[in-house]
């Protein structure tokens, strides 16, 4: 069916104009989100959020991800999608599912594209739809399938069969290719991550009292790299799209085989002149503590209020 300009009596759609079903609108929104998500993934991996044509209120970027507005490429991609919607009424996702946004004033012609400015204003008006998501659900019971944004901007989403001429088929093929790439790269299936040791520096231990009843065997300062990367349908192995963060940890190992657990073993870590005590039971045999600071780390190990050993560790060089 081709949507033509038709007079709209009393603000209601004529019988030959079929509103798009809510399910088609949802599928189109998900496909367009996948396309924009793919662009975000290509630009910065998991280090940035993806824009959406249906904004919602959320808690902000997860972890240390940057907002999509910080990337000129993503802002341009978002703007191009809205311009495409304004000029043609369709986006790649809407083209694939066969729906279109049209200008539908109360007392004017129905069927033309909404226009670029109206398309941009409609995105802003979607913030009203995002309140408890009521506006996005409104097409389920509204007779013309309108969200609050549609009502404010005088638009409506209709079913529209793709054109069958050569140009129409070519546009549809391009839309399918874009959507397929978006699903492969933009659909997030899960997350992978881990921790790797980038460098290790052993701390030279001072002489220990053989009668102390407990002996420290090793103190090491390690530079670790924590990484995470989302898993996509496309088997992307580019490490540059991982989100990585470095941390320092101090590992202390002692022989606590025959030691009673009564009384804590204390590892005193001093960086920047500020001492911090970490406790463990003597029978544990191992303690790993995070280290903050950029200078040498002074370590003192105490058992039952006696100093077992001490050392100064220098920061390991990055691997």
pLDDT bin (cut points 50, 70, 90) of residue 13 is low
Is residue 12 within 8 Å of 171, Cβ to Cβ?
Answer: no
pLDDT for 108-119, tens place per residue? 666 689 999 999
213 phi/psi in degrees, rounded to 5: 90, -5
DSSP class of residue 48? Answer: B
pLDDT digits (tens, 9 = 90+) for 166-201: 998 999 999 999 999 999 988 877 777 888 888 888
The model's pTM is: 0.69
pLDDT in tens, 71-115: 999 999 999 999 999 999 999 999 999 999 999 875 666 668 999
Q: What mean pLDDT is predicted for residues 256-266? A: 72
Confidence bin at 6 (pLDDT 50/70/90): very low
Q: What angle do CA 32, 34, 39 make, to 5 degrees?
A: 100
Grade residue 60 by pLDDT with cuts at 50, 70 and 90: low
Is the pLDDT at 15 greater than 70? The verdict is no
Do 53 and 86 meet the contact criterion of CB atoms below 8 Å apart? no
Q: Do the Cβ atoms of 314 and 302 come closer than 8 Å? A: no
From first CA to last CA, the distance across the chain in angstroms is: 63
Architecture of the domain defined by 189-313: Sandwich (2.60)
- How many CB atoms are closer than 10 A to CB 111? 19
Domain extents for the chain? 6-186, 189-313
Mean pLDDT, the chain, rounded, equals 84
Q: Residue 2 pLDDT > 60, yes or no?
A: no
CA–CA gap between residue 208 and residue 214 (Å, rounded) = 9
Mean pLDDT for 56-79 is 82
Q: Tell me, what DSSP letter sits at residue 205?
A: P
Handedness of CA 82, 83, 89, 93 (dihedral sign): negative
Confidence band, pLDDT 50/70/90 cuts, at residue 9: very low
């Amino acid at each position: 069916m081709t949507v033509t300009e038709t007079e709209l009596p009393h603000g209601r759609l004529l019988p030959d104009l079929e509103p798009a079903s809510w399910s088609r609108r949802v599928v189109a929104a998900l496909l367009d989100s996948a396309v924009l998500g793919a662009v975000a993934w290509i630009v910065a991996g998991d280090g940035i959020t993806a824009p959406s044509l249906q904004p919602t209120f959320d808690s902000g970027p997860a972890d240390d991800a940057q907002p999509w507005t910080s990337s000129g490429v993503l802002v341009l991609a978002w703007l191009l999608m809205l311009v495409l919607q304004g000029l043609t009424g369709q986006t790649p996702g809407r083209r694939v599912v066969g729906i279109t946004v049209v200008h539908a004033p109360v007392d004017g012609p129905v069927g033309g594209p909404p226009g670029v400015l109206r398309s941009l204003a409609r995105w802003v008006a979607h913030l009203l739809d995002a309140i408890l998501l009521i506006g996005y659900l409104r097409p389920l019971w509204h007779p013309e399938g309108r969200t609050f944004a549609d009502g404010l901007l005088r638009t409506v989403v209709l079913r529209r069969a793709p054109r069958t001429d050569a140009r129409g088929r070519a546009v549809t093929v391009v839309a399918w290719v874009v959507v397929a790439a978006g699903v492969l790269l933009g659909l997030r299936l899960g997350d992978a991550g881990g921790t790797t040791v980038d460098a290790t520096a052993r701390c030279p231990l001072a002489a220990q009292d053989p009668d102390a009843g407990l002996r420290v065997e090793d103190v090491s300062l390690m530079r670790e790299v924590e990484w995470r990367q989302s898993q996509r349908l496309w088997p992307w192995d580019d490490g540059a799209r991982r989100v990585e963060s470095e941390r320092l940890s101090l590992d202390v190992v002692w022989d606590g085989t025959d030691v009673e657990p009564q009384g804590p073993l204390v590892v005193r870590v001093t960086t920047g002149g500020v001492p911090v005590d970490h406790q463990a039971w003597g029978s544990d045999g191992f303690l790993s503590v995070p280290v903050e600071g950029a200078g040498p780390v002074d370590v003192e190990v105490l058992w039952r209020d006696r100093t077992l050993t001490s050392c100064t560790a220098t920061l390991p060089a990055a691997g």
